A and B are shown apart, each in its own frame.
Chain A
Amino acid sequence: MSVGEIRVAINSDQDIVSARQKGRLMATELGFSTGDATLIATAISELARNIVSYAHHGQVTLRMVNGLNRQGISVIATDDGPGIPDIRQALRDGFSTSGSLGLGLPGVRRLMDEFEINSQPGKGTTVAVKKWRQ
């Protein structure tokens, strides 16, 4: 594991708090503004919550990334839970199968600059997001 990478195991609601605090710290160290660090921490909170709600166990990986003339943070949330049968539906505002949240994924997409999702029913879900420093 390199210095620019932090992995947080997500097994309970307490881990959601821990993941977003580590994400905020990393974002601040990378020079993100307080506002952007809050957006990143909020996105991490939602992604980690999806893991706890749907898959129960998973992992959030925080990584420093370098682009052309810019630096950013990448957040990858993975689980081997039930997967999302209809990703297009899950990306629509107001959709939820747990009957409780329903804003997670489309909201996270708005909070971050890049958003990628991969999900296979029965195998799990990976959501990878990035935010670049302004």
Chain B
Amino acid sequence: MEVPILKQGAVLIATFQAALSDADLNQLRMGLVQQVVRFRSRAVIVDVTAMDVMDSFASRTLREIAHMIRLRGAETVIVGIQPEVAFAMVQLGLTLEGVATALDLEEGLAYLNEKFKTTN
């Protein structure tokens, strides 16, 4: 299942629809980086509200996405990690170190607005 990527001004928003396979995640990684280049985006929000499980592969891919996008000079915010998914991640020993997270899409956009304001 492909992840739709929406363009909202200088921000790209990728919304996970349901359970994603490794191939879908790899495709998202390539797609996001390409679009950040194409639209000269300043930030990416990855909305994982609908994600059923965040296992080691998924969190590694999200970390890689954030790092690749940072190399392009843009910001990544992961939003919507569900409480039970967060609990399982901690038990499993997974971290999203160095990656910004926010409660939901709204908070993620607010975080980016604040950030852009201070850097302008």
Contact = CB atoms under 8 A, between A and B. Distances in A.
Contact of A104 (B20, B22, B56, B83): B56
B94 interface: yes
Interface in A72-116: 93, 100-104, 106-108, 110-111
Q: Interface size class for chain A?
A: 20 to 34
Interface in B49-94: 52-57, 60, 82-85, 87-89, 91-94
B120 to A, nearest CB: 39
Interface residues of B, number: 23
B88 A39 contact: yes
B92 A42 contact: yes
Nearest to B87: A35
Contact of A21 (B19, B55, B60, B84): B19
Interface of A: 13-14, 16-17, 20-21, 24, 34-35, 38-39, 41-42, 45-46, 49, 93, 100-104, 106-108, 110-111
Interface of B: 19-23, 52-57, 60, 82-85, 87-89, 91-94
24 contacts: A13-B21, A13-B23, A14-B23, A17-B21, A20-B19, A34-B84, A35-B83, A35-B84, A38-B82, A38-B84, A38-B85, A39-B91, A42-B88, A46-B56, A93-B93, A102-B56, A103-B93, A106-B93, A107-B56, A107-B91, A108-B92, A110-B91, A110-B92, A110-B93
